[in-house]
Structure 1
Amino acid sequence: MSDNALHIIGGGMAGSEAAWQAAELGQQVVIHEMRPKIGTFAHQTGHLAEMVCSNSFRSDDHEQNAVGLLHWEMRAAGGLIMEMAYHHRLPAGGALAVDRDAFAQAVTARLRAHPNITIEDGEISALPETGHWIIATGPLTSGALAQAIAKEAGQDSLAFFDAIAPIVYAESIDMSRAWMQSRYDKGETEEEQRAYLNCPMTREQYEAFIDALLAAEKTEFHEGETAGYFDGCLPIEVMAERGRETLRHGPMKPVGLTNPHQPDVKPWAVVQLRRDNKLGTLYNIVGFQTKMKYGAQTEVLRMIPGLEEARFARLGGIHRNTFINSPTLLDAQMRLKSMPHIRFAGQITGVEGYVESAAMGLLAGRYAVAELRGLTPPELPNTTAMGALIHHITGGAEAKTFQPMNVNFGLFPPVEGLKSGRRGRKDRYKAYTDRAKTDWRAWLDAFPA
């Protein structure tokens, strides 16, 4: 391996994509991954790009949705994460959901087989003083490395708490009460139109469920832990504490669904489950991240009609996620200002979500290769999904109130001459995506590496 190798700490979504992009450009890469030697609360395997929360990459609509546009941009750049996601996709209506184990195994196999990539097991516990590095350790950065980062940054690590949803064995679900249907029958095929499993609730059942949820024993934080939650991944009990109707207007909304067992009765609320593997033997409860203790979880979740005898392949949980104040610490190419031989990528930079993390890895890998070759990459327009996201985290966001962010059209500069408001939204979003695709293709064509 050349001394001029690019070293990447962390083999999650961002690290895997960064390694692939650099290797495909002819760069020698070393991935340093502490698993399986050192595990984490959330990871179950030693595979790279393991999905620890949802198995969904969210909307795949690249004309009306910002995350779908991000899918498109990554595919146009030859992204490994998106290629493997499409290869192992599961029916999920308009979303891109995958068989999580097959997906991670495939990503790992492709990276291990690449002639320009070496994978080394073991923890990196300090910031490297020399070389070319990308830190893509994600929200579950090891304690020692997190302390080293915080010391270099001259501040305490910022943090928020994140939760994961339970997974149910399909055979334990009572299909005499539940039914298969995507909301509004969304999907091009019958399989996609029946991608979700639905459990209906009457008003009385919903109210009893909320009472039990609020009363359930929860995981308590240690003294001194004061971080908040990321709003895009709130535990269900936290949502319920904000108002008894919050869940019914959120993950349990009953719209766009008809119960074939009682077609004339409109459910008061509906719990949806999404297939978690290709075999269809596992389903995760959509939007049901939770910090309830395990015993309380089984009791409360079995109050859901159809889940009275549910058996769980994995119960939900909560863990601490760390991220840096990127607007203060990183330059426009994701380099640590105080140690510019180190780049950061992925969730640790303050993006939220699998897709956003992988996208930042894609950019970090490309930027690193250009720098190693003494080349100057073209400026990335903030009219693209990746450009909008990286501009936000490296300077567009207010540093004092910086929080994790999903990609969204609010980060894009407006397209002049379009109607504002709800009635003009469809045309506006299409204009955003058309402009982004043109600008992204131009950026890729001009990239010097």
Structure 2
Amino acid sequence: MGYLKSTPDANGFFGEYGGAELPPPLVPHFREIHEAYLRISHSAEFIRDLRYIRKHYQGRPTPVSYLKNLSDDCGGAQIYAKREDLNHTGAHKLNHCMAEALLAKFMGKTKLMAETGAGQHGVALATAAAYFDMECEIHMGEIDIAKEAPNVTRMKLLGANVVPVSFGGRSLKEAVDSCFQSYVAQAETALFAIGSVVGPHPFPMMVRDFQHVVGVEAREQFLEMTGQLPDMVAACVGGGSNAMGIFSGFIEDDVALYGVEPLGTSSNLGDHAASITYGEDGDIHGFRTLVLKDAEGNPAPVHTVASGLDYPGVGPEHAHLHKTGRVTYTTADDKEALDAFYRLSRREGIIPALESAHAVAFALREARANPGKSILINLSGRGDKDIDFVTETYGFGTD
């Protein structure tokens, strides 16, 4: 049996990681979600409806672009990008949000709710709620609300109720905490559409499966463009949904896979969000994975210039792929990500999300060291949401 069909196991574990540790009132609701997903995931009707949405609403397939100017600059490997920035709403997030909303309608739910960091998941879920005529509630940390103001505006225009989160670090972890607290009282009528390959089972599996379309398309497109598979595939990793989306298309091939974590401003605890590189086994938000911990063993404060990567844990499948060695996890710091942000904008006419810029930074760094090779990155989102923050904080870069 292939990897995707056999992983996770029936209890939602990817090797040692995953599972579902839930407060008793939520156990039946997550069981209901899992059972509903198993019923409809192979349903011809569900697949037909999802394919229609992806083609006629989202604008899929998104293309693979050859980044000739960056490739020439580096003088080594040839760099390609899977253009999820061209997916409707500007990122990969709509791939699973439309599917989760379709699942919610099947279950008879009337409301969608979720956390968001950079705001892309919030925008995508608000879009799905509008499409399916459902209510929408988005929890977002106050720090991220200030950094990602354009996405907050978009969510409100789409009809979502944006709930500011003012406790703790006021970022993504606290947004998840806040949304779980709100969801407990609404679980009968709402679906908590978790925004990455994190959370209790079945969400790490479900979100990966819904993002699998990215890898399927990219593999087929790259073969058509070049006649062969890429030597290296890379994606940024916070929770890790965009990475699992593209990795899943190549997981059974002889292709080197790389996850790029945010190193922030230094390797000191609190200055980065590199959960795999510096984390240890632990539990967070109802599942077991690699977690950055403080001296008391609690999830540690984290930092990265990219709000969507600002999480002290990682999807359990990434922890498993790290442990087995199938994926190599590395880092890019804020400075490298910002440099990549400016260079892709100036040299290719593509303004990337700061999250995606970490993968671009990896490609720029590795291309020189790998002449004659090919690198495919997942350009998981566009930078419209980041341009005000970047230019007001760092200026317009240099030529």
TM > 0.5? no
Instruction: State the TM-score bracket (shorter-chain normalisation).
Output: under 0.3
Q: TM-score with structure 2 length normalisation?
A: 0.28
Compute the TM-score of the two structures, normalised by the length of structure 1: 0.25
